[in-house]
Structure 1
Amino acid sequence: MSDAHTTSAPSHPFIESSRVEGTAVYDANGKQIGTIKRLVIEKVNGNVAYAVTSFSKFIGGNSDSHTIPWKYLHYDLALQGYRTNITEEQLHNAPEFSRRDDHLISGHEWELLAEYYAGPL
């Protein structure tokens, strides 16, 4: 993925979580594939661990939730949204627990999810 649009500094380096929710997610080609539903933040260090996302156009048909490690979403100033290299196939093959929308994943599930996405990206 090119960092051409992600390397320029935004007008302000911080953003409120409420402004991230609903922000578009784009594939590597710049096609909108979904939106961010919410962020999950580590309590102790304050870092965003992952985003629960809604992919509808990418998957086709009904909206499908997926938990995506935050490091695989990169803000693109030109698109005013987040780009990812995660493919439709990777989402289809992701661990089942990552498709749940109603709970926080456990530490073990987080490790499995991180390991799953670490390989192909």
Structure 2
Amino acid sequence: MAESFGSMQERMARDPATGSNPLIESDRVEGTEVYGADQRGVGSIKRLMIDKKSGQVAYAVLGFGGFLGLGEETYTIPWGKLSYDVDLGGYRTDLTADQIQGAPDFYRGDDYGWRERDKERELHTYYGVTPYWGI
């Protein structure tokens, strides 16, 4: 029996390295665990920050601690510091929880305007990555 066009498209859209689709819906990323350099959980993704012009994910905002959303702390990590690990079922970073918690205060609430390039530069310098907008 011939393969249907829909199933052929789905097979072709799969990432050969993982066997899964290369794209993921944003609501499936939120809540995903992030594992640090020591392979221990360092938090979970609370939200993604996406550059409006390029469509590129710029940051992951991680939530730490708390209970039912109370007392939770948030920290911003440049998206380039995360990579998906199929075996862990979550994102991996080369950072430790202490490094993340020691990062410059960039995002600590819903009212942050995300317009301060100097704060963004400071954050990228701290993490040793090139800013998503270039230099």
| TM-score using structure 2 length | 0.71
How large is the Cα RMSD of the aligned pairs?
2.1
| TM-score using structure 1 length | 0.78
- Alignment map for 1:1-121 (pairs within 5 Å): 8-56=17-65, 62-96=71-105, 98-102=106-110, 103-106=112-115, 107-118=117-128
Identity, % of aligned positions: 44
Determine helix, strand or coil for the equivalent of 1:91.
helix
Higher relative contact order (CA 8 A, sep 6+): 1
Please list the CA deviations of residues 47-81 of structure 1 after superposition, one character each: whole Å capped at 9, or x if unmatched: 00001111229xxxx53210000011110000110
Shift of 1:104: 4.2
> Which runs of 5 or more residues in structure 2 are unaligned?
1-15, 130-135
Higher Rg: 2
Instruction: Report the number of matched residues.
Output: 108
> Which runs of 5 or more residues in structure 1 are unaligned?
1-6
Asked if the contact 1:64–1:99 (Cα under 8 Å) also holds between the matched residues in 2, the reply is: no
Shift of 1:91: 2.4
Distance across 2 between alignment mates of 1:104 and 1:18: 22
Q: Which runs of 4+ in 1 moved over 6 A?
A: none
Asked if the contact 1:37–1:54 (Cα under 8 Å) also holds between the matched residues in 2, the reply is: yes
State the one-letter code of the partner of 1:101.
G
Distance across 1 between alignment mates of 2:37 and 2:107: 21
